[in-house]
Structure 1
C-alpha cells in the first residue's frame, strides 16, 4: 500500500496545480527575505521544493540554494525550470534529509508539512530541519491556518483545464483535512488523495521548542499581518536555531 504522498505528486499534480506561477513565488520570496535577514550568498535549503518555483526565486536573489523533494516527477520539472543550473536539486524524504551540510536558512513552504499520520513522524521533520541549520540559522514554515480551514471548508469545487475536468472533494476526518481529487478525461478517471494533519499554533510551538528551535515571529499571510487564529489565511512561522 502506497502512502498518499507517493502517488499524488506525479504528472497529474502538474495538471492540477499548473495555475501556481513563478511570479507569485517571486513576490512571496521577496517578502520572506526581509524576515530572514540573510547575508548575500547565504545558503538556503528549500525543504519539499516541489516544482522548484521558490528555489528558483531564492537563487534569483543571489542565494546559494538547494532544493529537495521526494517526487522525482516534480524534481524533473524543477530541473527544466533551472536552465542555468543555479540550484542543487536532491531527491529525499523530509524525515531523513540526505545531507550533512549545514545551511544559513531552511524554508518549508506551501503546506509541505504534516503529511504523516503520527505526531512523532511529523516532529522528525522539524528535528531534521534543525539538524541541517547552522547555529542561529533561520527557518520559515508556511502552513495552513487549521481553524480557518475547519470553519470555511469548501466541500466541493470543480474546474476544467487542458481538456480534463478536475473535481475536488474536501472533508475533515479526525485530525486531518483530506482532499480527494478526481481527474476526468476522455474515457478515463483518476483519483488522488491529499491529506494534511491540522496542527494549531500551540502544537507547532511544542514541536519547535522540542527541536531546539526558537520562534521569533508568527504571521497570518505574506503581507506580514499578525496571525489571527479566526481570520488569517496562513500560519507562517519564522524563527531560528538556538546557538
Structure 2
C-alpha cells in the first residue's frame, strides 16, 4: 500500500495548527497589499489561493475587495475556512496535482506551498495545472523560500513550547530536501512528523517555469517587494504570466 503523503497527514492534525498558530498575519497582509497594488489588479479580479490552508490570505484578499476561491488538500483546514465564506469568497478541497474546472485571473501559491514531491514531474504537473487554470494574461504569484539563504542560516535544533506542548524540532538538508523533523508528546502519545520541501534554488525554479511555458515578469526577495538577492533575501517570489 502506498504511504500517505506526509502533508496529508500532518496538515490534517490539530497539532500542525497549534505549532504554527503564531504565524505572522501582518507579514501576509503586507505582502497581499503590496503585490495586488504592484500588479494593479482591478477589484473584478477572481483570485485562486492554492493551497489556502485555513484561509488567512484568502480572507484578507477578499477584504480588499477581490473575489477569491481557496483550495486546499487538508479537509480540516477547508472546514475551518468555510466559516468565512460569503458571496465573493468560497473554499473547496482540491489537490494541486489535479486540474481545475474553472479559469482564474490570478493564481497565488503562497508561503512555501510547493516542492513537496520526490518526483520533479509532480512539481511540473502542478505548474502546468496552474498555467491551464489561468485566463489569458492572468498572473501567477509564487512565494517560496530562498533555498540558498535557508542553507546558510539553518538552525539545526530548537525547542518550542506552545499550548503546553513541547515541540522538538530538528532541521537538515538531505537527499535534495530541506527536512524538518518535529516530535512531541500530546494526548498520552508520542508523535513524530517530518516536513519535507524540495531544495529548489532560483536557477532550478526559473527552469521549471520556463519548461512549463510561463514568462517570468518579476522576481522579488521579500514581502516588501525588494529585489531578490541570492545571499540575503529570505523569500523567492516569482511573478509570471
TM-score, normalised with respect to structure 2: 0.94
In the TM superposition, residue 75 of structure 1 has moved relative to its aligned partner by 1.0
Q: Does the CA-based 8 Å contact 1:21-1:53 persist in structure 2?
A: no
Match of 1:40 in 2: 43
Q: Does the CA-based 8 Å contact 2:66-2:88 persist in structure 1?
A: no
Alignment of 1:47-66 (within 5 A): 47-66=50-69
Number of aligned residues: 238
Match of 2:213 in 1: 212
Match of 1:7 in 2: 9
Helix, strand or coil: the match of 2:207?
helix
Q: In 1, distance between residues paired with 2:103 and 2:154?
A: 39
Q: In 1, distance between residues paired with 2:94 and 2:208?
A: 22
Asked if 1:69 is matched to 2:47, the reply is no
Cα deviation 1:116-140 (Å, max 9, x = unaligned): 0011111111101100001110111
Q: 1:186 to 1:76 in 2, by over 3 A?
A: closer
In the TM superposition, residue 105 of structure 1 has moved relative to its aligned partner by 0.3
Helix, strand or coil: the match of 2:68?
strand
Q: 1:37 to 1:187 in 2, by over 3 A?
A: same
Match of 1:155 in 2: 156
Q: 1:186 to 1:49 in 2, by over 3 A?
A: closer
In the TM superposition, residue 160 of structure 1 has moved relative to its aligned partner by 0.9
Q: In 2, distance between residues paired with 1:39 and 1:182?
A: 45
Match of 1:20 in 2: 23
Unaligned runs of 5+ in 1: none
Q: Does the CA-based 8 Å contact 1:79-1:85 persist in structure 2?
A: no
Match of 2:89 in 1: 87
Q: Does the CA-based 8 Å contact 1:36-1:139 persist in structure 2?
A: no
Unaligned runs of 5+ in 2: none
Report the more deviating stretch, 205-214 or 216-225: 205-214
Asked if 1:96 is matched to 2:108, the reply is no
Q: 1:24 to 1:124 in 2, by over 3 A?
A: same
Cα deviation 1:196-218 (Å, max 9, x = unaligned): 00111121111112222110110
